[in-house]
Amino acid sequence: MRVKVWDPVVRLFHWALVAAFLANAFLTRPGKELHQWVGYAVAGLIALRVIWGFIGTRHARFADFLPAPGAVLGQVQDMATGRKRRHEGHSPLGALMIFNLLFTMAGLAASGYAMTTVAFFGVEWVEEVHEMLVVWAELSVLVHVVAVVVESRRLGVNLPKSMVTGYKTLP
């Protein structure tokens, strides 16, 4: 059964953020103007997503995927027992990663912007925070991708495809 789960805003946000993060992590040079503009774009994307988290479609809203400790452990228990409970929207563990990535990206944009201001220009701790967040974001993205693949195989639902087409095919 095909179910529409991700609206265009969610999908566009996701892939735009992927592109922006990859660009700034590996392609653009820190301190250069392009790096800064991509950073502003990330800040804009995050702001858009936060607003959409309150007024968006059903599965786009934060209220739809607030992670409860019991639900998170329930999902781990499903894994431990081989039960396949498929979530239409975000799963509890997936929701944790989303909030983690949202906060990390917001922190990256904020610390990056701070480095361009007069007050914080050349201040060492701001740079260190920015660098630490980069590593944290890279680790998070790695875990995110691995988790998506593992969950897709475990549940038999192609999750990456659903983030492209917007539809989940649930058996």
Partner 1 sequence: MTQTDADISTRSAPRPTPRRPMSLVALILFQALCSAFFVFDVIEDLSRGEVPLMHMLPEVGATIGLFVGILFEVRSLMVLLRRQAHMEKSLGVAAGALAELMEDYFRQWALTPSEADVAAFTIKGYSIAEIATLRGSAEGTVKTHLNAIYRKAGVQGRGQLVSLLIEDLLNAPLVPKDGMAGAEART
Q: What's the rounded Cα separation, in Å, for the pair 95 and 144?
A: 11
Site string for partner 1, 88-127 (x = CB under 8 A): x---------------------------------------
63 binding partner 1? (CB under 8 A): no
Interatomic CA distance for residues 19 and 13, integer angstroms: 10
- Site for partner 1 contains 31 (CB under 8 A): no
Among 49, 59, 87, 90, binds partner 1 (CB under 8 A): 87
Residue 141 sits in the site that holds partner 1 (CB under 8 A):
no
Cα–Cα distance, 101 to 83 (Å, whole number):
27
| DSSP E strand boundaries for the chain | 2-4, 167-169
Angstrom distance (rounded) from CA 71 to CA 105: 25
Supply the minimum distance, in Å, between the C-beta of residue 115 and partner 1.
Answer: 18
Q: How far is the CB of 32 from partner 1 (least distance, A)?
A: 19
Q: Minimum distance from CB of 44 to partner 1 (Å)?
A: 28
Token readout for 55 is 């007024």
Question: Which range of residues in 36-44, 49-57, 71-79, 116-124 is near partner 1 by CB under 8 A?
Answer: 71-79
Would you count residue 150 as binding partner 1 (CB under 8 A)? no
Q: Give CA angle at 131 (128, 132), nearest 5°.
A: 85
Classify residue 4 as left (phi > 0), alpha (psi -120 to 50) or beta: beta
Say which residue the tokens 């975000």 belong to: 90
How far apart CA 16 and CA 169 sit, in angstroms, is 24
Out of 18, 19, 68, 84, name the contact with partner 1 by CB under 8 A. 84
- Give the interface size with partner 1 as a residue count (CB under 8 A): 25
User: Which residues sit at the interface with partner 1, rule CB under 8 A?
Assistant: 1, 3, 69-70, 73-74, 76-77, 79-88, 131-132, 135-136, 139, 170-171
